Chains A and B, each alone.
Chain A
Amino acid sequence: MSGLSSFYRSAVGKKALMAASGIVMFGFVLLHMLGNLKLYQGPEKLNAYAEWLREVGSPLLPHSGLLWIARLVLLAAVGIHVLTATQLTLRNWRARPQKYQQREVLEATYASRTVRWGGVIIALYVFYHLAHLTSGWAHTDFVPGDVYHNVVSGFQIWWVSGIYIVAQVALGFHLYHGLWSMFQSLGWWNSTNPQDWRRRFAQVFAWTITLGNLSFPLAVLAGLVK
């Protein structure tokens, strides 16, 4: 076996695909968090931003054209990420049919050991989030087009905010291991610097995205945004 045909079949190739699709989703969650900061600028700015996301690209593209392209790219990235992760996980479970009576964890981080289940939590959360704030199906008081209202009235329900908070913490851990892991899987090593910049990169972006996202439900619960 050689070349691209074996690339997908190999676990090393699958990990590279996981990293590549992860980069796409990382870019998305970063931009998503930054865009949502407009919540703090009030209803006009946030709703205008949401409308701009639909209009951007026109007249070259139809209304919501770029939005749907982005959605399809993301859907493909999620599909690749989940498919390869599932295949690799099943393969790894088969690699040790007889378990140890005792196996201690030496250095693996909490984030790395929970990355699979974090991924499952995030996937379930994404379904809820889409039903809640995109389609409005899981929202008790959904007003199409009024993003600000939907966010604030949604987060004012404590358990809804609770779901978001739990999911963002899970996303933070997942991002921390994923972002670091990406460098390994794509073969970007760091040979001379004792302070591993890859770890630093993962820490900075995992914290940034998590704190940014956590601030939205917390600000609503605290009554700072209403």
Chain B
Amino acid sequence: MKLTLHVWRQKTHDAKGRFVTYSISDASPDMSFLELLDVLNEELTRKGEEPIAFESDCREGICGSCGVMINGKAHGPEKGTATCQLHMRKFRDGDTIRVEPWRSKAFPVIKDLVVDRTPFDKIVQAGGFISVNTGSAPEANLIPVPRPIAEKSMDAAECIGCGACVAQCPNGAAQLFTAAKVSHLALLPQGQPERYRRVQRMVDEMESYFGSCTNVQECEAACPKGISIEFIARMNRDYLKGSFSG
């Protein structure tokens, strides 16, 4: 496959970035998008140029580190797929592909396509946990959880924290991420004692970094795990409940 890539290059956080155009003449349709960047980087290294910085770890769609904007879509054209599992057969020979980092005030570019997603960690630190006394693990079957509830909680827990929701959102809001992290605990018995305090703290933390939700559903469409905006409604409800019951 012959491809033309316009890739965002930015030396440092403070530097002014720009798109640089690269031509690739021998891409395989079986490559993943990250492998395409690997091949391009090897060529750049051979030519003595600086390789393109991008983030990746597991390359199997579960670590959440590889997200980039591909042709204006978070994680590219394939639905429910992280960039690492997007294959070049989803593109056509001769295509032009624009690769951009996530754009959000809360996610400053560190270099090229790599952004700093620390605010996500801050949101989890604010309340994305349950407090338990340490010691031997309790018997797992002591607290029964109905299967539909357990499934729903797992749907929320699928969130890999990639940031696609923020990236795609026209408002740069982190509602879907925060709602997923709030909901997977709020649905389970173990999450009940801190339920309303948790949502208050996590939402307050979220709002110190991100824009706000206008219910346009772009996040759900961009999410590689297909997390539903139902969780945003759940989070809103818990937040409102917590505000009024104190």
Contact surface of A with B, Cβ cutoff 8 Å: 1-4, 6-7, 10-16, 88, 91-92, 94-109, 112-113, 115, 177, 180-181, 183-191
CB pair A13 B243 closer than 8 Å: yes
CB pair A15 B233 closer than 8 Å: no
CB pair A107 B220 closer than 8 Å: yes
CB pair A106 B222 closer than 8 Å: yes
B44 at the binding interface (Cβ < 8 Å): no
Question: What are the residues of chain A within 8 A of B180 when measuring CB–CB?
Answer: none
B113 at the binding interface (Cβ < 8 Å): no
Known contacts being A107-B218, A181-B214, is A16 close to B207, with CB within 8 Å? Answer: no
* Stretch from B22-30, B69-77, B82-90, B129-137 forming part of the interface with A: B69-77
CB distance from A108 to the nearest CB of B (A): 4
Question: What are the residues of chain B within 8 A of A112 when measuring CB–CB?
Answer: 214-217
CB pair A95 B173 closer than 8 Å: yes
Question: What are the residues of chain A within 8 A of B171 when measuring CB–CB?
Answer: 92, 95-96
Known contacts being A6-B243, A94-B211, is A105 close to B218, with CB within 8 Å? Answer: yes
Known contacts being A11-B207, A186-B236, A187-B240, is A180 close to B218, with CB within 8 Å? Answer: no
Other-chain residue from A95, A113, A187 in contact with B237 (beta carbon distance below 8 A): A187
CB pair B239 A12 closer than 8 Å: yes
CB pair B172 A92 closer than 8 Å: yes
CB pair A15 B212 closer than 8 Å: yes
B54 at the binding interface (Cβ < 8 Å): no
CB distance from B187 to the nearest CB of A (A): 11
CB pair A95 B98 closer than 8 Å: no
Expressed in whole angstroms, the Cα–Cα distance for A13 and B237 within the complex equals 10
Question: What are the residues of chain A within 8 A of B236 when measuring CB–CB?
Answer: 12, 15-16, 184-187
Give the top 7 A-B pairs by smallest Cβ distance, nearest first. A187-B237, A95-B211, A95-B172, A11-B212, A106-B221, A92-B171, A189-B233
B112 at the binding interface (Cβ < 8 Å): no
Q: Which B residues, 197 to 243, have Cβ-Cβ distances below 8 Å to chain A?
A: 197, 200, 203-204, 207, 210-218, 220-222, 229-230, 232-240, 242-243
CB pair B217 A4 closer than 8 Å: no
CB distance from B96 to the nearest CB of A (A): 11
Expressed in whole angstroms, the Cα–Cα distance for A109 and B152 within the complex equals 26
B246 at the binding interface (Cβ < 8 Å): yes
Expressed in whole angstroms, the Cα–Cα distance for A209 and B152 within the complex equals 37
CB pair A107 B217 closer than 8 Å: yes
B19 at the binding interface (Cβ < 8 Å): yes
CB pair B104 A187 closer than 8 Å: no
Expressed in whole angstroms, the Cα–Cα distance for A11 and B209 within the complex equals 12
CB distance from B220 to the nearest CB of A (A): 7
CB distance from A177 to the nearest CB of B (A): 8
Known contacts being A13-B243, A95-B172, is A102 close to B218, with CB within 8 Å? Answer: no
Other-chain residue from B204, B221, B244 in contact with A10 (beta carbon distance below 8 A): B204
Look across to chain A and name the residue whose beta carbon is closest to the beta carbon of B237: A187
CB pair A92 B217 closer than 8 Å: no
CB pair B170 A185 closer than 8 Å: no
Known contacts being A11-B213, A189-B230, is A103 close to B72, with CB within 8 Å? Answer: yes
Further contacts, 5 of them, CB under 8 A, given A2-B242, A6-B204, A97-B105: A15-B212, A103-B72, A103-B168, A185-B215, A188-B233
Question: What are the residues of chain B within 8 A of A97 when measuring CB–CB?
Answer: 105
CB pair A189 B98 closer than 8 Å: no
Question: What are the residues of chain A within 8 A of B220 when measuring CB–CB?
Answer: 107
Other-chain residue from A14, A99, A106, A186 in contact with B73 (beta carbon distance below 8 A): A106
Other-chain residue from B100, B197, B235, B244 in contact with A100 (beta carbon distance below 8 A): B100
Expressed in whole angstroms, the Cα–Cα distance for A186 and B246 within the complex equals 17
CB pair B19 A183 closer than 8 Å: no
Look across to chain A and name the residue whose beta carbon is closest to the beta carbon of B238: A187
CB pair A187 B244 closer than 8 Å: no
Look across to chain A and name the residue whose beta carbon is closest to the beta carbon of B199: A12
Expressed in whole angstroms, the Cα–Cα distance for A113 and B243 within the complex equals 29
Look across to chain A and name the residue whose beta carbon is closest to the beta carbon of B17: A98
Q: Identify 17 residue pairs between A and B in the complex whose beta-carbon atoms are under 8 Å apart, listed by A's number.
A: A2-B246, A11-B212, A12-B213, A12-B239, A13-B239, A15-B212, A88-B214, A92-B214, A99-B103, A106-B221, A113-B170, A184-B213, A185-B236, A186-B236, A187-B234, A188-B237, A189-B237
Question: What are the residues of chain A within 8 A of B213 when measuring CB–CB?
Answer: 11-12, 15, 184
